[in-house]
Amino acid sequence: MPLGEFDIIARYFARNTARRDVLLGVGDDAALLLPPAGQALVAATDTLVEGRHFLAGTPAAALGHQALAVNLSDLAAMGAEPAWALLSLSLPQANERWLSAFAEGLHALAERHGVALVGGDTVAGPLVITVEILGFVPPAEALRRSGAGKGDLVIVSGAPGVAAAGLEELQAGRLTFDAKDARVRRFLRAEPRLALGRALRGVATAAMDVSDGLLGDLGKLAQASGLRACIDLERLPIAPELAGYPLAEQERLVLHGGDDYELLFTLPSDHFGLIPRLAEAAGCSLRCIGTMVAGAGVECRRDGAAVDVTGSGYDHFAS
Ligand code: ADP
Ligand code: MG
């Protein structure tokens, strides 16, 4: 007998949570949640559509991870602490193997970050996954895109581009989803930088997560802050996974690759000495790649001279 909507919810998505601020979770008409006094509620949502945001045939466990991870990354970029998630799932069919793996991927990441799944919606239709995430941040310490100041340092976490390299291997058919290759693993299971987001509270002047590519996203931060970002190409962090690529390919992947969930942020220049401590608190490397200056847009320099780096971040409505 095929699984009904209520069986799916009960079997895969209704889980007990240790969170005391969930007065009522999955099962009633709506969840009842108790936000902590004095904190701002931070809310974000992201949708994954098959064929658009993920390749057909992507392992279900990776999709469960990614659907939540993209949202956690948005909260990390705000300096927020995630608390509750809602899941809206449109499924072509109720396949138990798929559902069980998907739920496993999602719950594993949720548990690592203390997030409770408190509700959602389950319907039949094309494969579309929407997660909404809710969390908290002290209102004065929230990290916005708009706060960068002239002279601030531009810093990026980790080494973006590895996930994009993995995606390209999959798209070209050179590697399969079950490959042990580090690029493919990163693409399927990148970890959002929540510890870094927390460490940057009240320290970074502006922050955002890299989801559409470093260059395009830095352009958004620069625009929101009313400044120009200048980056030095020779300072870009190159991941060991990309060591075998020609320099131009390394730069293309680092500048235009998304999906690593790295954070991009600005710091007043007199905070340069804080970077090692921030990196230690966050458990990741941090690299200063440039500075904010007067003007608009993003400028790339090599050995001090401006260079044209074509291509921009992924835009769903660009032709
Ligand atoms: P209603 O018809 O009142 O909207 P539903 O039948 O859609 O209720 O959902 C029943 C309960 O299950 C609700 O608490 C809802 O939030 C939860 N729920 C439904 N689908 C999911 C899902 N995919 N993940 C988590 N909770 C879900
Ligand atoms: Mg409903």
- What is the C-alpha separation between 8 and 12, in angstroms, rounded? 6
- Better pLDDT: 4 or 33: 33
Ligand 1 mutation pick, 5, 26, 107, max ligand atoms within 8 A of CB = 26
Q: How confident is the model over 281-287, as a mean pLDDT?
A: 97
* Helix (H/G/I), strand (E/B), else coil: 131: strand
b/e per residue 163-198 (b: at least 16 CB within 10 A): bbbbbbbbeeeebeeeeebebbbbbbbbbbbbebbb
For residue 121, the ligand 1 atom closest to its alpha carbon is 20
> Tokens 């799944």 correspond to what residue?
117
Pocket of ligand 1 contains residue 80 by CB under 6 Å: no
Q: Which ligand is nearest to the CA of 5?
A: 1
- What is the C-alpha separation between 65 and 288, in angstroms, rounded? 29
Query: Is a pLDDT exceeding 90 seen at residue 311?
Result: no
Phi and psi at residue 37, to the nearest 5° = -65, 140
**How far is C-alpha 139 from the chain's CA centre?**
21
Phi and psi at residue 217, to the nearest 5° = -70, -35
Q: Which ligand is nearest to the CA of 120?
A: 1
- What is the C-alpha separation between 43 and 45, in angstroms, rounded? 7
Per the prediction, the chain carries an average pLDDT of 94
Rounded to the nearest angstrom, the distance between the alpha carbon of 122 and the centre of ligand 2 is: 7
Q: How confident is the model over 228-257, as a mean pLDDT?
A: 96
pTM of the model: 0.94
For residue 12, the ligand 1 atom closest to its alpha carbon is 24
Quote the pLDDT of residue 9. 93
- What is the C-alpha separation between 211 and 209, in angstroms, rounded? 6
Pocket of ligand 1 contains residue 119 by CB under 6 Å: yes
pLDDT tens figures, 84-136: 999 999 999 999 999 999 999 999 999 999 999 999 999 999 999 999 999 99
Query: Is a pLDDT exceeding 50 seen at residue 252?
Result: yes
Pocket of ligand 1 contains residue 29 by CB under 6 Å: yes
73 to 58, 135, 145, 153, 296: CA distances (angstroms): 20, 12, 14, 21, 26
Rounded to the nearest angstrom, the distance between the alpha carbon of 124 and the centre of ligand 2 is: 12
Quote the pLDDT of residue 319. 38
pLDDT tens figures, 28-82: 999 999 999 999 999 999 999 998 899 989 999 999 999 999 999 999 999 999 9
pLDDT tens figures, 147-198: 999 999 999 999 999 999 999 999 999 999 999 999 999 999 999 999 999 9
Rounded to the nearest angstrom, the distance between the alpha carbon of 121 and the centre of ligand 2 is: 5
Q: What angle do CA 64, 50, 128 make, to 5 degrees?
A: 65
Quote the pLDDT of residue 308. 84
Residue 1 pLDDT grade (very low, low, confident, very high; cuts 50, 70, 90): low
Query: Is a pLDDT exceeding 60 seen at residue 313?
Result: no
Quote the pLDDT of residue 58. 95
Starting at the edge strand that comes first in sequence, how are the strands of the sheet with 116-124 ordered? 40-49, 128-137, 81-91, 116-124
- What is the C-alpha separation between 2 and 94, in angstroms, rounded? 7
Pocket of ligand 1 contains residue 4 by CB under 6 Å: no
pLDDT tens figures, 208-224: 999 989 999 999 999 99
